[in-house]
Amino acid sequence: MSREEYKSIEEKMKKTINVLKDELTGVRAGRANPAILDKLTVDYYGTPTPINQIASVSVPEGRVIMIQPWEAKMIKEIEKEIQKSDIGINPNNDGKVIRLVFPMLTEERRKELTKVVKKYGEDAKVAIRAIRRDGIEHMKTLKKDGELTEDDLKTAEKDIQNMTDKYIAEIDKVVELKDAEILEV
Protein backbone atom coordinates (compact mmCIF):
# COMPACT_ATOMS: atom_id res chain seq x y z
CA MET A 1 0.00 0.00 0.00
CA SER A 2 1.37 3.39 -0.94
CA ARG A 3 2.07 6.13 1.54
CA GLU A 4 -0.55 8.32 -0.22
CA GLU A 5 -3.30 5.81 0.55
CA TYR A 6 -2.38 5.78 4.26
CA LYS A 7 -2.19 9.57 4.19
CA SER A 8 -5.64 9.81 2.61
CA ILE A 9 -7.17 7.59 5.31
CA GLU A 10 -5.41 9.52 8.07
CA GLU A 11 -6.48 12.89 6.62
CA LYS A 12 -10.13 11.77 6.65
CA MET A 13 -9.78 10.70 10.28
CA LYS A 14 -8.15 14.02 11.22
CA LYS A 15 -11.01 15.90 9.53
CA THR A 16 -13.49 13.87 11.58
CA ILE A 17 -11.71 14.94 14.79
CA ASN A 18 -11.75 18.60 13.64
CA VAL A 19 -15.48 18.42 12.88
CA LEU A 20 -16.08 16.98 16.36
CA LYS A 21 -14.07 19.80 17.96
CA ASP A 22 -16.04 22.39 15.95
CA GLU A 23 -19.34 20.85 17.03
CA LEU A 24 -18.26 20.84 20.66
CA THR A 25 -17.33 24.54 20.64
CA GLY A 26 -21.03 25.20 20.05
CA VAL A 27 -21.98 23.32 23.22
CA ARG A 28 -22.32 25.92 25.94
CA ALA A 29 -20.52 24.99 29.14
CA GLY A 30 -21.70 27.80 31.41
CA ARG A 31 -18.60 29.78 30.60
CA ALA A 32 -18.52 32.52 27.98
CA ASN A 33 -16.95 31.24 24.77
CA PRO A 34 -16.85 33.62 21.79
CA ALA A 35 -16.84 30.59 19.44
CA ILE A 36 -20.62 30.32 19.85
CA LEU A 37 -20.88 33.44 17.68
CA ASP A 38 -18.80 31.93 14.84
CA LYS A 39 -21.80 30.61 12.91
CA LEU A 40 -23.76 33.87 13.17
CA THR A 41 -23.63 36.33 10.29
CA VAL A 42 -25.02 39.85 10.02
CA ASP A 43 -26.11 41.66 6.87
CA TYR A 44 -23.28 44.17 6.42
CA TYR A 45 -23.91 46.34 3.36
CA GLY A 46 -25.66 43.45 1.61
CA THR A 47 -23.06 40.82 2.50
CA PRO A 48 -23.55 38.17 5.21
CA THR A 49 -20.56 38.84 7.46
CA PRO A 50 -19.42 37.05 10.65
CA ILE A 51 -19.89 39.16 13.78
CA ASN A 52 -16.19 39.03 14.67
CA GLN A 53 -15.40 40.80 11.36
CA ILE A 54 -17.57 43.83 12.13
CA ALA A 55 -17.11 44.08 15.88
CA SER A 56 -14.68 43.53 18.68
CA VAL A 57 -15.65 40.38 20.64
CA SER A 58 -14.17 39.94 24.11
CA VAL A 59 -14.74 38.05 27.37
CA PRO A 60 -14.28 40.61 30.17
CA GLU A 61 -15.57 38.16 32.82
CA GLY A 62 -15.95 34.40 32.99
CA ARG A 63 -19.64 34.37 32.03
CA VAL A 64 -19.92 37.50 29.85
CA ILE A 65 -19.23 38.06 26.16
CA MET A 66 -18.99 41.69 25.12
CA ILE A 67 -19.55 42.71 21.49
CA GLN A 68 -18.57 46.21 20.45
CA PRO A 69 -19.43 47.00 16.82
CA TRP A 70 -17.02 49.23 14.93
CA GLU A 71 -20.02 51.05 13.45
CA ALA A 72 -22.69 52.10 15.94
CA LYS A 73 -25.51 51.47 13.46
CA MET A 74 -24.64 47.73 13.39
CA ILE A 75 -25.59 47.21 17.03
CA LYS A 76 -29.29 46.65 16.21
CA GLU A 77 -28.45 44.18 13.40
CA ILE A 78 -26.16 42.17 15.66
CA GLU A 79 -28.74 42.17 18.46
CA LYS A 80 -31.47 40.94 16.06
CA GLU A 81 -29.23 38.16 14.75
CA ILE A 82 -28.37 36.94 18.26
CA GLN A 83 -32.06 36.91 19.20
CA LYS A 84 -32.90 34.85 16.09
CA SER A 85 -30.13 32.34 16.79
CA ASP A 86 -30.34 29.20 18.94
CA ILE A 87 -27.82 30.50 21.49
CA GLY A 88 -30.63 30.92 24.00
CA ILE A 89 -29.27 34.11 25.58
CA ASN A 90 -30.93 37.48 25.44
CA PRO A 91 -28.49 40.24 24.47
CA ASN A 92 -28.20 43.32 26.70
CA ASN A 93 -27.73 46.42 24.55
CA ASP A 94 -26.67 49.69 26.17
CA GLY A 95 -26.36 51.57 22.86
CA LYS A 96 -22.59 51.10 22.59
CA VAL A 97 -21.96 47.43 23.36
CA ILE A 98 -23.92 44.20 23.53
CA ARG A 99 -23.38 41.96 26.51
CA LEU A 100 -24.29 38.27 26.55
CA VAL A 101 -24.50 37.08 30.15
CA PHE A 102 -24.39 33.30 30.52
CA PRO A 103 -26.39 31.96 33.45
CA MET A 104 -24.95 29.28 35.70
CA LEU A 105 -25.94 25.85 34.45
CA THR A 106 -28.20 23.72 36.60
CA GLU A 107 -27.07 20.20 37.47
CA GLU A 108 -29.84 18.80 35.26
CA ARG A 109 -28.76 20.92 32.29
CA ARG A 110 -25.13 19.89 32.79
CA LYS A 111 -26.15 16.22 32.59
CA GLU A 112 -28.16 16.89 29.42
CA LEU A 113 -25.17 18.62 27.85
CA THR A 114 -22.84 15.72 28.68
CA LYS A 115 -25.29 13.41 26.89
CA VAL A 116 -25.15 15.69 23.84
CA VAL A 117 -21.34 15.69 23.96
CA LYS A 118 -21.25 11.89 24.20
CA LYS A 119 -23.58 11.63 21.18
CA TYR A 120 -21.26 13.86 19.14
CA GLY A 121 -18.40 11.60 20.24
CA GLU A 122 -20.27 8.45 19.19
CA ASP A 123 -21.11 9.98 15.81
CA ALA A 124 -17.43 10.77 15.29
CA LYS A 125 -16.46 7.19 16.22
CA VAL A 126 -18.98 5.85 13.70
CA ALA A 127 -17.41 8.09 11.04
CA ILE A 128 -13.90 6.86 11.95
CA ARG A 129 -15.03 3.24 11.72
CA ALA A 130 -16.62 3.90 8.33
CA ILE A 131 -13.31 5.35 7.12
CA ARG A 132 -11.55 2.21 8.41
CA ARG A 133 -14.07 -0.03 6.63
CA ASP A 134 -13.66 1.86 3.34
CA GLY A 135 -9.86 1.74 3.64
CA ILE A 136 -9.83 -2.00 4.25
CA GLU A 137 -12.29 -2.59 1.38
CA HIS A 138 -9.97 -0.62 -0.88
CA MET A 139 -7.04 -2.79 0.20
CA LYS A 140 -9.02 -5.96 -0.49
CA THR A 141 -9.82 -4.64 -3.96
CA LEU A 142 -6.11 -3.99 -4.55
CA LYS A 143 -5.31 -7.56 -3.46
CA LYS A 144 -8.00 -8.93 -5.77
CA ASP A 145 -6.52 -6.91 -8.63
CA GLY A 146 -3.11 -8.42 -7.86
CA GLU A 147 -1.53 -5.17 -6.62
CA LEU A 148 -1.12 -6.49 -3.04
CA THR A 149 0.00 -9.82 -1.63
CA GLU A 150 -1.84 -11.57 1.20
CA ASP A 151 0.89 -10.45 3.63
CA ASP A 152 0.65 -6.85 2.41
CA LEU A 153 -3.12 -6.96 2.93
CA LYS A 154 -2.73 -8.25 6.51
CA THR A 155 -0.14 -5.54 7.25
CA ALA A 156 -2.39 -2.84 5.74
CA GLU A 157 -5.39 -4.05 7.77
CA LYS A 158 -3.30 -3.99 10.95
CA ASP A 159 -1.97 -0.49 10.18
CA ILE A 160 -5.44 0.85 9.42
CA GLN A 161 -6.77 -0.70 12.66
CA ASN A 162 -3.94 0.90 14.66
CA MET A 163 -4.74 4.27 13.06
CA THR A 164 -8.43 3.76 13.93
CA ASP A 165 -7.60 2.91 17.55
CA LYS A 166 -5.44 6.05 17.82
CA TYR A 167 -8.23 8.35 16.57
CA ILE A 168 -10.94 6.65 18.64
CA ALA A 169 -8.76 7.26 21.72
CA GLU A 170 -8.38 10.91 20.68
CA ILE A 171 -12.18 11.22 20.37
CA ASP A 172 -12.54 9.79 23.89
CA LYS A 173 -10.03 12.35 25.18
CA VAL A 174 -11.79 15.29 23.45
CA VAL A 175 -15.18 14.18 24.81
CA GLU A 176 -13.74 13.65 28.29
CA LEU A 177 -12.26 17.18 28.32
CA LYS A 178 -15.56 18.74 27.20
CA ASP A 179 -17.46 16.74 29.84
CA ALA A 180 -15.04 17.96 32.51
CA GLU A 181 -15.54 21.55 31.30
CA ILE A 182 -19.33 21.18 31.49
CA LEU A 183 -19.38 19.49 34.91
CA GLU A 184 -16.92 21.99 36.39
CA VAL A 185 -18.78 24.16 38.86
- 70 near 56, Cβ under 8 Å? yes
Could you please report the per-residue DSSP string of the chain? --HHHHHHHHHHHHHHHHHHHHHHHTS--SS--GGGGTT-EEEETTEEEEGGGTEEEEEEETTEEEEEESSTTHHHHHHHHHHHSSS--PPEE-SS-EEEEPPPPPHHHHHHHHHHHHHHHHHHHHHHHHHHHHHHHHHHHHHHTTSS-HHHHHHHHHHHHHHHHHHHHHHHHHHHHHHHHHH--
- 113-122 per-position pLDDT tens digit: 889 899 999 9
Is a pLDDT exceeding 70 seen at residue 159?
Answer: yes
Q: How far apart are CA 152 and CA 79, in angstroms?
A: 59
Q: What percent of the chain has pLDDT over 90?
A: 36
Is a pLDDT exceeding 70 seen at residue 129?
Answer: yes
- What pTM did the predictor assign? 0.69
- 10-34 per-position pLDDT tens digit: 999 999 999 998 888 777 666 777 8
Most confident of 1-5, 69-73, 108-112, 125-129: 125-129
- 33-80 per-position pLDDT tens digit: 787 788 888 888 888 888 888 888 888 887 888 999 998 888 888 888
Burial 134-143, CB ≥16 within 10 A → b, else e: ebbebbeebb
Query: What structural domains does the chain harbor?
Result: 3-26+106-183 (1.10.132.20), 34-101 (3.30.1360.40)
